[in-house]
Structure 1
Amino acid sequence: MLQNSIKEGNLYFYGCNVQELAQKYGTPLYVISEDCIRNKCKELKESFIEKYPNTKAFYASKAFLTLEMCKIMKEEGMGIDVVSGGELFVAIRAGIDPKDIMFHGNNKTTAELKMAIEYSVGRIVVDSLDELQVLDDLANEANKVVDILFRITPNIDCNTHKYISTGQKDSKFGIPLDDEIIKEAITIATTSTNINFRGIHFHVGSQLFDNSSHLKAIENAIRLMKKLKNDLDIEIEELNVGGGFGIKYLESDKPKSLSYFIDAIMEAIKKNTYENGLKMPKIFIEPGRWMVGEAGITLYTVGTIKDIPGVRTYVSIDGGLPDNPRTALYTAKYQAYLANKMDNERNKTVTIAGKCCESGDILIWDLMVPHSIERGDILSVMSTGAYNYSMASNYNKIPKPAVVMIKDGQERIIVRRESYEDLISMDVI
């Protein structure tokens, strides 16, 4: 977890002195390692794309999306998975080939669908019968043929937080596997002159530490593929199995390697398609958190320290809920260190409190820190690369932090810090 680690009592992150970054760019500060991201891409290629033919990876950009991130993904040969018109706009503006874009979302607006059709994105992942009809009409108006996948709910409950579990039948995402619903959707798609039905997609959930949910979902998906071949004489060309591969947030976490998931997934697909007399489809995956989660840290400056004898010690920082809502939303847990006192024994339990006027703005309830913790120390929260910057808000009118990217021990700004003027730039009086 302490990549490149400790020199003279200071935390280094991929070659950069964390305290010096905080002093130079201010806090709160998001720090992202380009080296880590590219290493993940290398692992992904070796474990999946180069190892198994007829495969492609799409980065789930909702985890962390900037123009620079798109540039890196393009250079690494990855596709981009987007879930809104805004994410689609960023990907296009960054120069991503529209054919390398997978457009998701449970409630794509008419404007977003028109945008996707206009750009000729590679795949639109249709989430419902309602969306299918709207898309068909829009494609007809534009005189275009759109390639689609259907997102199905594979009826799988996985061992993760309910807010990031998406494969169960009772879900806002996807088309249920009930015969009458999925068959109607596929019949409409295959009889339309403006829809090209290519395959199916599922996503069982996120931050998973075992592959059992993926394997059960594959069995259900291929059972559907068999029924479609038998009942409608339709052979599925593409199968998108989503992502969800877990990462290390705490020192006690023991996430599995990517190959643990990929090898089991590919073997299960190969086995089940063969046993059911089906052709092996093209396989897509969509890692997001796995690509960027451990590539990021967030830096804060320690402020007020409040000791309540016999209760707890609150250590307040200059950020919190606005730059990381995951603790309030998911009760997410993080590991953190005093970046400028790494040689000091961690012998005091404190609660890390955010600065918002909100009782629930607690970043870490019980964190071991040196007894010498004091105002001005730099707190480094680890594994914040995914769903921190992308979920940030201006609650309490707090400006969003800057994003610094580091490569080969050198840093550069890729997103500037918001100013107070930015907070009112869209106001009209």
Structure 2
Amino acid sequence: MSRFAHPAGDRHAEQLPDERPPHAPADLNALTPALWPRTSERIDGAITIGGVDVRDLVAEYGSPLLVMDEEDFRSRCRDYRASFHDGDVHYAGKAFLCREVARWIMQEGLGLDVCSAGELAVALSVGFPPERITLHGNNKSVAELERAVVTGVGHIVADSFEEIARLGYLADKHGVRPKVMIRVTVGVEAHTHEFIATSHDDQKFGLSLSSGAAAEAVRRVLALPSLELVGLHSHIGSQISETAGFEVAARRLAGLLAQIKQEHGVVLPELDLGGGYGIPYVDGDDAPDIKLIAESLREIVAHVCASAGLPLPRLTVEPGRSITGLAGITLYEVGTVKDVEGLRTYVSVDGGMSDNIRTALYGAEYTARLASRSSEAAPMLSRLVGKHCESGDMVIRDLYLPADLAPGDLIAVAGTGAYCRSLANNYNYLPKPAVVAVSGGQARVIVQRETEEDLLRGQL
């Protein structure tokens, strides 16, 4: 069982519309360290990140604005590298990827997981070593597979029988021998939202262990001399709060490794347990301890492999959210403050579900603070909402903000570095916000804000 726990933030909002949160924070100005970027602080009332005042950021780069703390991001990369010093760490690009982030990952010595031709193109455009890239995806096109084969991507995770056949054909065509892993659906019911649980049998990813599909996939890869089978892969979901699921997954994968050795006389050298480690989003969520995660997973794999009479494979993990999630905050400008008598106050901001759809998708929870100044006003039960034409357009369903909140104030929402910009959209033709990196008192744009010209491009 787990020696660490960090309950997570992807929870259904189960409160009735008129049910109030249990209590207001003791200090509406406080920045709980576990929830905010590591360089966050208040100076003269305003929040600063990376030594830069949020008021200056919005004045120069506009609002809404995603702010990435570069030192926070890099330091979490280094934490993972130190904790998994005897294995491999691949950053899951789907959490948030742009060219500058790919450079950070490359410079910090991590590998990179991509799951589309577009993500692969981002990595290759900055010279990311292809041998440190893993290609994922449940429906990779022939063109995507061919680009990966020709480029020399380090690992391709096979997700279907059709994909194995395509890979064999492409490898023969180009005279190369790509390294292949089989994505195994191990039947673990991860304790997370159903939309981000990925290892139960009834879903689109992987090849089922219980049905025998995974074992058959192994046979098919081994039957193709142009493919090099190097290991098994499993990913049980996202925002996971304990290691129990990883323990079950590792035990079942070890059983398949033993079966492969017995049936084929082949010992696979690699085991990839995926990612999905949670982060805290609100007070009461515990911060994950990467060292404890590493120790727990290492002990689990060593134990199950020893029990199965197998040598210890090289372990790979794929963190995404737990590297980038807390490094990012979103800044919004308050537009209207509308009191709904007897219920709550609706605070509308200049973004919403176009830059953060997670609340609408799976009831995600967040922490927010008045960012442009401090306030000693009484707490006001609020709902932070966007400007889109949907009643479900909420950034935070229930929170307390100072009662003197006014149009023009800036609100900072913590923990938005993962899956917010990646899932951003143009609903109601809102342009996607810029992304700014801050470090050492300096700020620079790493993703430009979209313009109306961008929105109209391609239309006839």
Please give the TM-score of this superposition, normalised by the length of structure 1. Answer: 0.96
Opposite residue 433 of structure 2, the aligned amino acid is: P
Q: Secondary structure at the match of 1:421?
A: helix
Opposite residue 58 of structure 2, the aligned amino acid is: A
Distance 2:82 2:166 in 1: 40
Aligned partner of 1:117 in structure 2 is: 149
Opposite residue 66 of structure 2, the aligned amino acid is: Y
Aligned partner of 1:350 in structure 2 is: 382
Distance 1:109 1:390 in 2: 21
The superposition leaves residues 153-174 of structure 1 with CA deviations (integer Å, 9 ceiling, x where unpaired) of 1110111111111111222111
Deviation at 1:409, TM superposition (A): 2.2
Deviation at 1:14, TM superposition (A): 2.9
2:77 matched to 1:41?
A: yes
Higher alpha-carbon deviation: 22-31 or 344-353? 344-353
Deviation at 1:105, TM superposition (A): 0.2
Which structure 2 residues correspond to residues 9-408 of structure 1 after superposition, within 5 A? 9-49=45-85, 53=86, 55-178=87-210, 180-345=212-377, 347-408=379-440
Distance 2:165 2:376 in 1: 63
Deviation at 1:28, TM superposition (A): 0.3
The root-mean-square deviation of aligned C-alpha atoms, in Å, is: 1.3
Opposite residue 107 of structure 1, the aligned amino acid is: N
Higher alpha-carbon deviation: 256-265 or 14-23? 14-23
Deviation at 1:178, TM superposition (A): 3.1
Opposite residue 59 of structure 1, the aligned amino acid is: Y
Percent identity reads 39
Q: Is the 8 A contact 1:206 1:243 kept in 2?
A: yes
Q: Is the 8 A contact 1:210 1:256 kept in 2?
A: no
Distance 2:246 2:216 in 1: 26
Q: Secondary structure at the match of 1:216?
A: helix
The superposition leaves residues 123-156 of structure 1 with CA deviations (integer Å, 9 ceiling, x where unpaired) of 0000111211122122222222111000001110
Q: Is the 8 A contact 1:405 1:412 kept in 2?
A: yes
Q: Is the 8 A contact 1:5 1:12 kept in 2?
A: yes
Aligned partner of 2:18 in structure 1 is: none
Deviation at 1:366, TM superposition (A): 1.1
Opposite residue 421 of structure 2, the aligned amino acid is: Y
Opposite residue 177 of structure 2, the aligned amino acid is: V
Q: Is the 8 A contact 1:102 1:121 kept in 2?
A: yes
Distance 2:174 2:88 in 1: 28
Q: Secondary structure at the match of 1:303?
A: strand
Opposite residue 190 of structure 1, the aligned amino acid is: L
Higher alpha-carbon deviation: 118-127 or 334-343? 334-343
Distance 2:287 2:129 in 1: 33
Deviation at 1:346, TM superposition (A): 5.2
Q: Is the 8 A contact 2:345 2:380 kept in 1?
A: no
Q: Is the 8 A contact 1:127 1:151 kept in 2?
A: yes
Distance 1:344 1:78 in 2: 44
Higher alpha-carbon deviation: 249-258 or 153-162? 249-258
Higher alpha-carbon deviation: 94-103 or 140-149? 140-149
Distance 1:180 1:59 in 2: 30
Aligned partner of 2:8 in structure 1 is: none
Distance 2:153 2:54 in 1: 40
The superposition leaves residues 225-258 of structure 1 with CA deviations (integer Å, 9 ceiling, x where unpaired) of 1111112222111100111111111122113201
Distance 1:139 1:342 in 2: 61
Opposite residue 219 of structure 2, the aligned amino acid is: T
Opposite residue 39 of structure 1, the aligned amino acid is: S
Opposite residue 207 of structure 2, the aligned amino acid is: I
Distance 1:126 1:347 in 2: 52
Where does the alignment leave 5 or more consecutive residues of structure 2 unmatched?
1-34
Distance 1:351 1:325 in 2: 15
Deviation at 1:290, TM superposition (A): 0.5
The superposition leaves residues 346-374 of structure 1 with CA deviations (integer Å, 9 ceiling, x where unpaired) of 51011111111111111111110000001
Distance 1:70 1:292 in 2: 12
Tell me the matched-pair count: 424
Higher alpha-carbon deviation: 303-312 or 102-111? 303-312
Opposite residue 13 of structure 1, the aligned amino acid is: I
Q: Is the 8 A contact 1:346 1:368 kept in 2?
A: no
The superposition leaves residues 201-225 of structure 1 with CA deviations (integer Å, 9 ceiling, x where unpaired) of 0011111221111111111111111
Name the CA shift for 1:77/1:281 in 2 (closer, same or farther; >3 Å): same
Q: Is the 8 A contact 2:375 2:402 kept in 1?
A: no
Q: Secondary structure at the match of 2:356?
A: coil
Distance 1:175 1:28 in 2: 41
Q: Secondary structure at the match of 2:274?
A: coil
Please give the TM-score of this superposition, normalised by the length of structure 2. Answer: 0.90
Q: Is the 8 A contact 2:51 2:441 kept in 1?
A: yes
The match for 1:415 among 431, 442, 447 is 447
Opposite residue 397 of structure 2, the aligned amino acid is: W
Distance 2:48 2:166 in 1: 52
